């Protein structure tokens, strides 16, 4: 899934750990991990929050 690859790619490119991303955005670290692994489909709110966080 392209969303998963984009999130993980941007996060790793900017050298941000999943735990740090979770702390900065208020999401549970398990949520970040599950989205990146494709175990769940991110909500629209999650995607807007990630977009705001990464400035895209």
Residue 11's pLDDT band, with cuts at 50, 70 and 90, is very high
Six-digit token string for 18? 């999943």
9-29: average pLDDT: 96
Mean pLDDT for 5-18 is: 91
CB 50 within 8 A of CB 35: no
Continuous H helices in the chain: 2-13, 18-25, 29-37, 44-54
State pTM to two decimals.
Answer: 0.85
Tell me the C-alpha distance between 15 and 42, whole Å. Answer: 22
Q: How confident is the model at residue 21, as a pLDDT?
A: 97
What's the Cα-to-Cα distance from 8 to each of 14, 25, 40, rounded to whole Å? 10, 15, 14
């Amino acid at each position: 899934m392209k969303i998963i690859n984009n999130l993980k790619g941007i996060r790793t490119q900017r050298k941000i750990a999943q735990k740090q991303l979770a702390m900065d955005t208020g999401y549970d670290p398990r949520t970040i991990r599950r989205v990146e692994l494709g175990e769940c489909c991110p909500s629209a709110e999650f995607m807007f929050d990630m977009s705001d966080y990464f400035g895209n």
